[in-house]
A and B are shown apart, each in its own frame.
Chain A
């Protein structure tokens, strides 16, 4: 007879036992793994404050993987993936990394954490585990120096390049670099490492161009920015570069700016803070905000249109709301996945494994050999959505080019073509200095690149 007392014992005991059994079973289970399937591990963040970003980005990735499968895979090799929820938390990302690392007898070849905290959490393991960290527009900027970071890449442009492009655009709007003298630029940022990322480059530019740079921090979650914006108004800022994270902070900045009467046309958002999901909650107040883009939104790129037709046509689309196909985060995800697949193709070709799966070393070589020209972009179907670039042994960053877009109340209007930073050598020097410092501190000998 099941008494209450017995129930008290049984319920927790069973759950505890089941836990251990499940872990034991799954971690030692050899999943039936055909050798023709290339395995990808996907650490998604679908719940919590960054869920809008996570669902869009990883949805794009998964849709592209399914699309490639429907088109016959990569030279016949089908793609398979496993997801693990990280909640955008560093410790969970590490957990997910370790759980996704092995599937049967295959190891995952690439890891994309969508965010700087996650990237930093796993970056030290890449070299040991032979997994590529494919940062796509985020993460450790000095990893662009491939001699110190052979396993880390950033195909979509990093923050130092981005801020240089933005400053250049602002200068253009003001009538030239000489007109920047004496102006006041405020860098409003989330009070974390990510928010402070562009500051070294910005400070240098401020010195060179002779404008006043004010750094104002917003503590997370940033639902309230009254004091920061009142300060901005007091300082009579000319422009505000905004480096926020999470839709709360991003839309609040716009509404607060409206409240203190700061023109949105003088606000410049970062790639990670400027997407439809950030602009829409702010309503009409968001009109006129500038955003930098490393992946342009839109549904009429041939690939996106084809994904809609082929994948969503048979109901296998990953996005709960198909309206989100073609948005900024989604297209960025598709762009990231496209790079993986191109790297895979390269790897197969370089190592004579066309039609077979590749391992981490081979994939790394394939990623490093990425030479994405305009023709290649056209072939993939994303000409204009992503920028062309070429990687090399020492140069692990992408094109460092961004498009400038402006929100018109309903969608983003793309104002420019791919704009590069005016002084890439200066940024490269900053990167190499930082990477060298890291190498010295951690006793790493940079590998030679001819």
Chain B
């Protein structure tokens, strides 16, 4: 296959992977935007969400019934987190909150394994993880149907959430809360409802991300590590920007895959693990708050 097409294939594959990373990063951004908490437990939540979904289906619930049940479960998890972990720590430093979410990650991972066991499970979404035929026939490139579907879903979610934040009353309330809790309270914005909404949305995002990753790689413990893939996306896009997440995801995905295929062999391969992080550091040196993040104003 001519080299140009191969390059394009790797590039497109990378872009599509990037949207999957962006989907995971979206959960981080949501929670950070609304409560200034970096939720390290997002990876564990992705794992827990999809594991519960598959678990419910195994218990006999059909696909369309298991979905709302799992969403409900994730809402409960979010509410519980807010009530028992975040509220007692409400004025603590960033580091403390970060630690608390790492502790939370341990708890969620343990509970997931307790509740649903440690077996690896399949998830069949009805979309086959196989190349799209007409693309393959015309260009020789292999682009997976599942990847394209995932990209479309990610795009829709990002668009919907961006619209939510900028054009709806609820979105404005969320932004107000993120800006200043006390001020938001003082003008009558119901803080607890807002937080519940945010965590519920993050839970839904986690479930969708988990479903797509699970369909691709099987529902198993290693899914908690997709969070590590999403961190460079967060840095490059900025912790507080929803549209930034997609753009950053595309950049990271493309860079990672192109780097692994074209530069990797010169150094023995395996650079996928750290290359996106190095890219993120380089970006930060130029723009310390990410591409679209809010400029950090520090007063002396």
Contacts and interface: CB of A to CB of B under 8 A. Distances in A.
B130 A227 contact: no
B217 interface: yes
B142 A219 contact: no
B124 A259 contact: no
Nearest to A278: B120
Q: Please report whether the interface of chain B is mostly helix, strand, loop or mixed according to DSSP.
A: helix
Contact of B129 (A218, A280, A285): A285
Contacts of A227: 10, 13-14, 256-257, 260-261, 264, 272
A223 B221 CA distance: 11
Nearest to B274: A219
B28 interface: no
Contacts of B256: 227
The number of chain B residues touching the other chain, given as a range, is: 35 or more
A321 B117 CA distance: 9
B222 A246 contact: yes
A52 B264 contact: no
Given A191-B269, A219-B272, A246-B222, A277 B117 contact: no
Contacts, number: 128
Contact of A282 (B6, B218, B221): B218
A402 to B, nearest CB: 24
Contact of B217 (A55, A255, A261): A255
A283 B118 contact: no
Contacts of B17: 224, 226
Interface string A304-322: 0000000000000000110
Among A226, A260, A282, residue most surrounded by chain B Cβ atoms (within 10 Å): A226
Nearest to A275: B120
B25 to A, nearest CB: 15
A393 interface: no
A227 B253 CA distance: 11
Nearest to A259: B144
B264 A281 contact: no
A440 B126 CA distance: 59
A47 B9 contact: no
Nearest to A215: B269
Given A259-B129, A280-B120, A218 B270 contact: yes
27 contacts: A48-B221, A49-B220, A191-B273, A218-B270, A219-B271, A220-B273, A222-B222, A223-B213, A223-B225, A223-B226, A224-B17, A226-B17, A227-B13, A247-B220, A248-B218, A248-B221, A251-B120, A251-B217, A251-B220, A255-B129, A258-B129, A281-B120, A281-B219, A282-B122, A282-B218, A283-B122, A285-B129
Nearest to B260: A227
B59 interface: no
Nearest to B220: A247
Contact of B142 (A46, A222, A259): A259
Contacts of B119: 52, 277, 321
A202 interface: no
B110 interface: yes
Q: Which 4 A-B pairs have the closest CB atoms?
A: A281-B218, A248-B222, A51-B118, A191-B270
A227 B259 CA distance: 9
A228 B256 CA distance: 12
Interface string A166-179: 00000000000000
Contacts of A278: 120
A49 B218 contact: no
A187 B10 CA distance: 20
A251 B218 contact: yes
Given A224-B17, A230-B9, A47 B110 contact: yes
A217 B268 CA distance: 8
Nearest to A281: B218
A281 B121 contact: yes
A46 B120 contact: no
A353 to B, nearest CB: 39
A409 interface: no
A222 B273 CA distance: 10
B144 to A, nearest CB: 5
B140 to A, nearest CB: 10
Contacts of A226: 13-14, 17, 257
Interface of A: 46-49, 51-52, 55, 191, 215-224, 226-228, 230-231, 233-234, 246-249, 251-252, 255, 258-261, 277-278, 280-283, 285, 320-321
A252 B13 CA distance: 15
Contacts of A230: 6, 9-10, 13, 142, 261
B113 interface: yes
Given A224-B229, A261-B136, A282-B218, 13 more contacts: A49-B221, A217-B270, A219-B272, A223-B229, A226-B13, A231-B265, A234-B6, A248-B222, A251-B217, A255-B216, A258-B129, A281-B120, A285-B129
B222 A223 contact: yes
Interface string B269-281: 1111100000000
A226 B261 CA distance: 10
A219 B273 contact: yes
Given A51-B113, A277-B119, A259 B131 contact: yes
A233 B143 CA distance: 13
Contacts of A47: 110, 113, 118
B131 A261 contact: yes
A3 B9 CA distance: 65
A286 to B, nearest CB: 10
Among B1, B130, B268, residue most surrounded by chain A Cβ atoms (within 10 Å): B130
Nearest to B146: A259
B6 A248 contact: no
A280 B121 CA distance: 7
Given A52-B118, A234-B1, A219 B270 contact: yes
Contacts of B1: 234
Nearest to B113: A47
A222 B110 CA distance: 22
Contacts of A231: 261, 265
Given A191-B269, A227-B261, A227-B272, A248 B220 contact: yes
A260 B131 contact: yes
Contacts of A247: 120, 218, 220, 222
Contacts of B271: 219
A217 B269 contact: yes
B26 interface: no
B104 interface: no
B100 interface: no
Nearest to B109: A47
Nearest to A228: B260
Contacts of B113: 47, 51
